[in-house]
Structure 1
Amino acid sequence: MSPPVLLNLTQIHDFITDALKQHHVKTGEFMGPWFTKMNFIVTSDPINLRHIAIKNLHNYVKGREFREIFQAFGGTIIAADYSDKWKSTSICSTILGFDPGSLSIDFPEIATEKALNEAEECMFYRNIVPKCVWKLQKWLQIGPEKKMSRACRTVDQFLYPCIESTRKELNKNEPLLDDQAHVDMPLLRALMRENKGKAYEYDDKYVRNSVYGLLDAGRGTITSALTWFFWLVAKNPLVETKILEEIKDNFGDEKKLVYLHGAICETMRLYPPVPFERKQAIESDVLPSGHPVHANAMILISLYAMGRFQDVWGEDCLEFKPERWISEGGGIVYVPSYKFFSFSAGPWTCLGKDLSFIQLKMVAAAILRNYRVHPVEDHVPTLSYSFILLMKNGFKVRITKREA
């Protein structure tokens, strides 16, 4: 099965979706060459997700191979399995308060931003080629692995000085270094102060991994959701009109922006910021769909495909309809997390879910209230080659001031 996958690598998410639909299934098995050990179960079935993420979650972990692929995150929250260690990181205290200036009018190239994007692309690459291939490339420092090493060095050159200056400040009450004077890091400082002097005081590597993981997760997913949101709204003027009317009537009251909430959920249903998740079975099992799972078997969960199945979301599943999230009484419709899997499900549910919705609504409302977003004529968005679902080459638009 490898040749067609490799030939369709640049459109892998649509390829997986079409392959499942052609066989009229939501779960299937991918068989790689025998020497690569690249056999996967691919599923977009909510009943399987409920089993994996909630009912039998202790049997499905990220595992050692996941941590090798996503080595840039270290052993903290993103790469950790569900455990007391994972639960202890709900202390939202590891994100740097830093404005890189990437939205400056001259659109400067920010080295750290570019490095994070390149690392994401390389980690996606590791998921779809045999382990022996990317391991050899890493040893030889060629291809994507050379780019991965360079990206990690760039991020470290930013993070470690921040950590060092904060630790000095905590130990000796010294002021921040001159080149860090513009950086506000109360959350980083809180994490380090919380464990200062304790037997399990976090070392610089642990702090770096924590910051990297949450920084990349929050940055990439919010960016993805907002990009696709503005594109879908621009393509659906009636939706934009309804959002503007709601904002006008309820501006400042986030809880009453029900239609905007529905539009954001609908965006992530069609274009989930993280389009697939990867799990590994500890022991043999049988999925509710009837598919056997062997011990150590890999499972790929395609969120992108799940949003495009009629028997999951209805015959209008390919349409952008915020109304599907709104009840007749005007409230938000409850959708099980194993069906709307953008924030995972059960105990694995994203720790930043509520904060993410607040951020998304604030930015969306502020921009739409003041500006019109016009996609550049003939701009056709394509999916990025990354584990974060961005637009390849960005979203090209013209921005005009909205008349009062």
Structure 2
Amino acid sequence: MASIGLYEAFIAFFCLFTFYFFFHTKPFCCLLIQKTHKSYPWNWPVLGMLPGVLLRLHHIYDYSVEVLECSNLTFQFKGPWFAGMDTLVTVDSANIHYMLTSNFSNYIKGPEFHEIFEVFGDGIVNSDSDLWRNLRKLSQATFNHQGFQNFSTFTTRSKLTDGLVPLLNHFAEEEMVVDLQDVFQRFMFDTTYIFLTGSDPRSLSIEMPEAEFAKAFDDIGEAVVYRHIAPRFLWNLQKWIGIGTEKNMMEANATLDRVCTKFISSKREEIRSQGITRSQGDCKDLLTYHIKLDTNKYELLNPEDDKFLRDYAVGIMAAGRDSTAATLTWFFWILSENPNVLTKILQEMNTNLPKKGNGQDKSSYMNKLVYLHAALSESLRLYPPIPFERKSPIKPDVLPSGHKVKSNTNIMIFIYALGRMKAIWGEDAIDFKPERWISETGELKHEPSFKFLSFMAGPRTCLGKNLAMNLMKTVIVEILQNYEIRVISGQKIEPKPGLILQMKHGLKATIAKKCSSLD
């Protein structure tokens, strides 16, 4: 890596010295807060608004709601001088629709996004233009493949009955306090790993073993967040020296490479040993589907290249494990805070689901659970698993809000704040009301994706939306039919700043078995 210049070294030292002051000198912090005008962070010489954001980092999500409501839905963040951190933050629905749909071709992830998220390689998370179109086309074919749909349904049911249910029974019998967030992360890690490779890592067990592959994603998440709040030269310096979060990032990346190399090699050998042809007709797991890819349909994709498979696998594991687990965690906490909603869900289940024993496939009945779907959508509105999205224009443009943007401008859509804007959702925007998703005739109401962005919008709308919703409803129904979740009172519930909206301290609860289904 090129040597760091004298100017950059001086600025790095100045930033570190200032950060030390902010976090260790109370009078200075108080002065900083007093100088803040209303809700906006103070724009300091050299350091811009970054110090004020760092001081509020522990409650950055709620702070973003406050700032955006006071700035007519769009706010210009000024970063440190010459750091390239200036960012236009918006939750304006017109801007979102314009960038993600009507002028989609001009708003891409961009080179800076690719640099920050470099660990995801050239997978669909980072890709743009023709490569993205190839990957999108492949993903669409994969998720629509009947073999994979059957396999994913079977996997979810098997992991429930053979993994989650026995574990919850054990917790109930031992009267243990458990972290539901950890349980859901393990359940989704195993389930997604099976979707991908066809094998079960069995991280969901009584022993609760540490999975190095899962831990690597946690370390990467922390490092990527750091790259969002620190000047580029600072984290590049740490990367060059090999210290701090950048050292953790490199070690985690090496773990991903090693684990992916192992299961890709094993899958290739399995396919060779079984003499399976190039046809995808009998494919089940995603890795097999991609190894047997018909390259005539996807000219930019190379299934012979292990890096192509590695980048795809990393993206699938990150999306499948964390986002769904986070949603389930927030949902069960919300139910504990809204017992009237829980009662309505149980009544709906009691009316529409078969009352025979555990283990019965209830997937064909899920569409009848309108109120459950509405409650889950409302949870996603208030606690979206992906709290923000980044975009960057290729060419200069003017947004519908009137804001001018230059080429490569950093634009952030704060999805968390979007779901709480009174200008968009009404005066009761912060209230949990599943009824807002149900029409007068008792059917589900559709909300435009640029207003409800949990599954993105436009050409990049999440292809796994239906799979994720059905999986979550299956897990929720299984738990609510057979267990009573008692969330421990008095614990501090707050989101952890990160790529995924996780609970900072987890969700502690006890499990009690119900005497009969649907009590």
TM over 0.5: yes
Deviations 1:208-267 (A, max 9, x none): 110110111111110111010010011111101111111122222111111111111111
Counterpart position of 1:250 = 352
Report 1:152-301 matches (<5 A): 152-173=253-274, 186-195=285-294, 200-251=302-353, 252=362, 253-301=365-413
Deviations 1:113-164 (A, max 9, x none): 1111221121122122111111111111111111111112222222211101
For 1:236 and 1:104, the matched residues in 2 are separated by: 30
Moved more, 89-98 or 135-144: 89-98
Moved more, 61-70 or 377-386: 377-386
TM-score of the two chains, using structure 1 as the length reference: 0.93
TM-score of the two chains, using structure 2 as the length reference: 0.73
Instruction: Measure how far apart 1:391 and its partner are.
Output: 0.7
For 1:320 and 1:34, the matched residues in 2 are separated by: 41
**Paired residue type of 1:311:** A
Change (3 A) 1:13 1:263: same
Matched position secondary structure for 2:326? helix
CA contact (8 A) 1:96 1:211 kept: no
Counterpart position of 1:180 = none
For 1:310 and 1:112, the matched residues in 2 are separated by: 41
Matched position secondary structure for 1:95? helix
CA contact (8 A) 2:197 2:267 kept: no
Aligned counterpart in structure 1 of residue 128 of structure 2, from 81, 104, 123: 81
Instruction: Measure how far apart 1:202 and its partner are.
Output: 3.5
For 1:388 and 1:242, the matched residues in 2 are separated by: 29
Aligned counterpart in structure 1 of residue 501 of structure 2, from 386, 389, 392: 389
Counting matched residue pairs gives: 395
For 2:511 and 2:389, the matched residues in 1 are separated by: 35
For 2:285 and 2:421, the matched residues in 1 are separated by: 44
Change (3 A) 1:282 1:112: same
Matched position secondary structure for 1:89? helix
Instruction: Measure how far apart 1:7 and its partner are.
Output: 1.3
For 1:185 and 1:140, the matched residues in 2 are separated by: 44
CA contact (8 A) 2:292 2:303 kept: no
For 1:20 and 1:186, the matched residues in 2 are separated by: 43
CA contact (8 A) 2:439 2:445 kept: yes
Instruction: Measure how far apart 1:386 and its partner are.
Output: 1.5
Report 1:114-153 matches (<5 A): 114-153=215-254
CA contact (8 A) 1:278 1:298 kept: yes
1:70 and 2:117 aligned:
yes
1:104 and 2:153 aligned:
no
Unaligned runs of 5+ in 2: 1-48, 149-194, 277-282, 354-361
For 2:87 and 2:197, the matched residues in 1 are separated by: 37
Matched position secondary structure for 2:292? helix
For 1:233 and 1:320, the matched residues in 2 are separated by: 10
Aligned counterpart in structure 2 of residue 354 of structure 1, from 453, 458, 466: 466
For 2:295 and 2:374, the matched residues in 1 are separated by: 43
Change (3 A) 1:395 1:99: farther
1:5 and 2:104 aligned:
no
Instruction: Measure how far apart 1:403 and its partner are.
Output: 3.0
1:14 and 2:115 aligned:
no
Aligned counterpart in structure 2 of residue 336 of structure 1, from 444, 448, 461: 448
Compute the RMSD of aligned alpha carbons.
2.0
Matched position secondary structure for 2:390? strand
For 2:80 and 2:74, the matched residues in 1 are separated by: 20
Deviations 1:354-373 (A, max 9, x none): 11111111111111111111
Counterpart position of 1:178 = none
Matched position secondary structure for 2:499? coil
**Paired residue type of 2:339:** P
Deviations 1:52-108 (A, max 9, x none): 101111110001111111111111111112542232332247823343333322322
For 1:201 and 1:95, the matched residues in 2 are separated by: 15
Q: Based on CA coordinates, which of the two structures has the bigger radius of gyration?
A: 2
For 2:379 and 2:490, the matched residues in 1 are separated by: 21
- Give the percent of matched residue pairs that are identical in Structure 1 and Structure 2: 43
